[in-house]
Amino acid sequence: MAVQLDALSVALDTGDRSAAGQSGWSRWLGFGVSGASSWRYVGASVPGVAHLADDLDCQDAWAAQWVDSDSVLVLAVADGAGSAAESRAGAELACQTVLAECVVWLSDPLVGDWTPAVALRLLQRVQIALAQQAAQAGQPIRELACTLLGAVLATDRALFLQVGDGAIVIGTGAGYRPVFWPQGGEYPNETHFVTDPTAVAQLECAILTEPVAEVALLTDGLQSLALHYHSRQAHLPFFRPLFQRLRDYPALSDPAELTMALERFLSSPAINQRTHDDKTLILAVRWPVEEPIPPPAAAPDRVTADPAAVGLAVIPPAAEEEPDAEAD
């Protein structure tokens, strides 16, 4: 199967072919280019067919912002829990809080090294914001439950964090790979949320001290299409044409055309035949790349700092089979 992102085919490796569909959820689209940092990104969230059938809103959210005079790009994605009454609001607040806290952190002239403690602080700020909103609404915080994926991309380094499922995929000279593996819960189709009492223990953080050329953040609605579960690798034919399309997009063209193309891709029959869940995808590339960016010498380590020193423990997710791509 393949779907069309404008003139480019994105292979889903399922044996047949389908053209892209179209939907009306353009308000969840976005596009940005920064001359200072040479980053361009595009993102979209669309509802899954299960939510459309039940007349429910998309429960995913995403946000992006340049920080520190446009030299750093911050990306965040969250997937609201299907069982939570205010999951969409929780996901939106989580993403916006990550951006706001990164502005504060990176605006500090005394900002030091990027460490796992930064990821912990971002998670804690998200938890505080969700708790405050829940208290104001007179609701339990679980009604705002959501996952969280974050990426902070500077010229010479990057910080990634994750709680729950979904994936962050980075591009290097050797191909594409997930920074972490999606976190599963005790039972199928379960995961962890930032509102869980064990969220700090589930927080994963990776820090690269080299530049990153391409980054994708996606919610679990795209996991079965974008990841190989047996090899625990990213599906290169899924990502390569998407990144290339973003990189090749004319600088003076209407960005709405590209964002609508991404929305059509995410809403296409070819995608919806494989997943019924909401789908969110952010793509970001360095542009233009004047010189090849070398790949990292090794995969980014998970946090190895003493948990007692930073209040952070990292539990690598256990091996798991490919889950059913259904709504949360």
Question: Which tens digit of pLDDT belongs to each residue from 57-115?
Answer: 888 999 999 887 668 999 999 999 988 888 899 999 999 999 999 999 998 877 777 89
Of 38-42, 187-191, 231-235, 294-298, give the range with the top mean pLDDT.
Answer: 231-235
pLDDT score for 79: 95
Res 278: pLDDT: 92
Q: Which helix (H) or strand (E) holds 150?
A: strand 148-153
Q: Which residue, chain included where needed, has tokens 């999951």?
A: 87
The mean pLDDT of the chain is: 78
- Percent of the chain exceeding pLDDT 90 equals 49
CB 93 within 8 A of CB 64: no
Residue 290, pLDDT score: 47
Lowest mean pLDDT among 3-7, 15-19, 25-29: 15-19
Of 225 and 249, which is predicted with more confidence? 225
Q: How large is the average pLDDT for residues 40-55?
A: 86
* 187 vs 272, higher pLDDT: 272
Query: Highest mean pLDDT: which of 120-129, 152-161, 208-217, 301-310?
Result: 120-129
pLDDT tens track for 164-200 = 999 999 997 778 999 999 998 666 678 999 999 999 9
Least-confidence region, from 32-36, 80-84, 290-294:
290-294
Q: 261 Cβ partners below 8 Å, 6+ apart?
A: 5, 6, 20, 245
Is the pLDDT at 300 greater than 50, yes or no? Answer: no
Would you state the pLDDT for residue 123? 98
Each domain of the chain, given as residue ranges in start order, spans 2-11+26-310
214: β partners: 171, 285
- Residue 54 pLDDT: 76
Q: What is the pLDDT of residue 21?
A: 27
Q: 301: exposed, middle or buried (C-beta count within 10 Å: 0-12, 13-18, 19+)? A: exposed
Q: Which of 63-77, 282-296, 298-312 has the highest mean pLDDT?
A: 63-77
pLDDT confidence band for 328 (50 / 70 / 90) = low
The CATH classification number of 2-11+26-310 equals 3.60.40.10
User: What would the mean pLDDT of 37-54 be, rounded to a whole number?
Assistant: 84
pLDDT of residue 285: 92
Distances (CA, A) of 43 to 32, 120, 194, 256: 9, 25, 22, 11
**CA–CA gap between residue 33 and residue 243 (Å, rounded):** 14
Query: Lowest mean pLDDT: which of 5-9, 237-241, 255-259?
Result: 5-9
Residue 29: pLDDT band with limits 50, 70, 90: very low
2 has pLDDT over 70: no
